[in-house]
Amino acid sequence: MHIPPYDNQNKPIVDVDDPTVPLNYFNIVKLTKGQAFEYAVPGYETCIVPATGTLDIDIEGFRADGIGNRGADVWDGEPEGVYVPTAAKAQMACTSDTAEVFVCGARYDKVLDAFAVRADDLDLVQYGSDDTKTHRKIKHILGTKYHDKVGRLLVSELFTVGEGGWSGFPSHKHDTDRLPLETRHDETYNFRFKPNHGSGVQMLQREDGKAGDAYHIVDGSTICLDSGYHPCAVLPGYQMYYFTILGGLSQRSLIQYFQPSHADQIETIPGIKDMIAKFK
């Protein structure tokens, strides 16, 4: 499902028990200097990630000050974030001139401990090549290194390396719990383009061998993926970024099932096996 960009007025874009991706939660919060925003999401663990700007964050006594170092856009510095336990009350205060903040979550009923992820804590992976039109960089905010500290939530940022090309290829899905072949993980994206008048396409093929759907994605588009194979592409001459939220049904580790008709191309894309391993 495609949700075009709109002024959400700091209210969830993907709320609890969403009919398409019930395992996900997503809000965009926009603040100016001195403004604060408070929230709690019963039944969901969450993560606060400034897209731009800097925040001081308090989570029921746990403090993380100076979170976020990006200025103009998501390309302007490294991401940082704070993990918020299930149902915990979190308050963020804007200390920069402005801030745009991603609040993402996954359904989880246990209560863990809050912690901060600084730029030095990121898990980075780069894969693909210009020749295969798949050159990408992923910055894992809540990646595999936090398996013992997070319940079901995986959070990362994906950037194109260079302009144009494909992502999420070879096509894969993760909509059914059938270990060891595949896990059920709902997924939500928020896209940005550079320059911001760029755009791309999100494909969604529900069944191998049958025609699927395609969505025209623009700067600020949100995509919710409940089932099917889902590669995406950006127009030549533009860079693409997407904030990625994954929420697992029965486990945190993601096992992707690659579309049989394209799976052999795993062997042609440099570094993709390392990329796959970073989600497990």
Closest to 243 (Cα-Cα) out of 197, 192, 169, 174: 192
- Digitized pLDDT (tens) for each residue of the chain, 280 residues in all: 999 999 999 999 999 999 999 999 999 999 999 999 999 999 999 999 999 999 999 999 999 999 999 999 999 999 999 999 999 999 999 999 999 999 999 999 999 999 999 999 999 998 788 788 788 999 999 999 999 999 999 999 999 988 899 998 889 999 999 999 999 999 999 999 999 999 999 999 998 889 999 999 999 999 999 999 999 999 999 999 999 999 999 999 999 999 888 888 788 778 777 777 767 6
pLDDT at 134 (0 to 100): 84
Are 219 and 155 within 8 A, CB to CB?
no
pLDDT at 208 (0 to 100): 84
Distance between the two ends of the chain, CA-based, in angstroms?
A: 25
pLDDT at 209 (0 to 100): 86
pLDDT at 214 (0 to 100): 97
DSSP for 66-104, written as a single string: EEEEE-SSTTSS---EEEE-TT--EEEEE-SSEEEEEEE
pLDDT at 143 (0 to 100): 95
pLDDT at 170 (0 to 100): 87
Given 2.60.120.10, 3.10.310.10, 1.10.10.10, 3.40.50.1820, which CATH number is that of 7-277? Answer: 2.60.120.10
Angle, alpha carbons 138-141-143 (nearest 5°):
80
Domain boundaries, the chain: 7-277
Closest to 9 (Cα-Cα) out of 36, 40, 31: 31
pLDDT at 272 (0 to 100): 73
Are 152 and 107 within 8 A, CB to CB?
yes
Q: Which two tokens stand for residue 103?
A: 């609040």
pLDDT at 278 (0 to 100): 65
Are 255 and 179 within 8 A, CB to CB?
yes
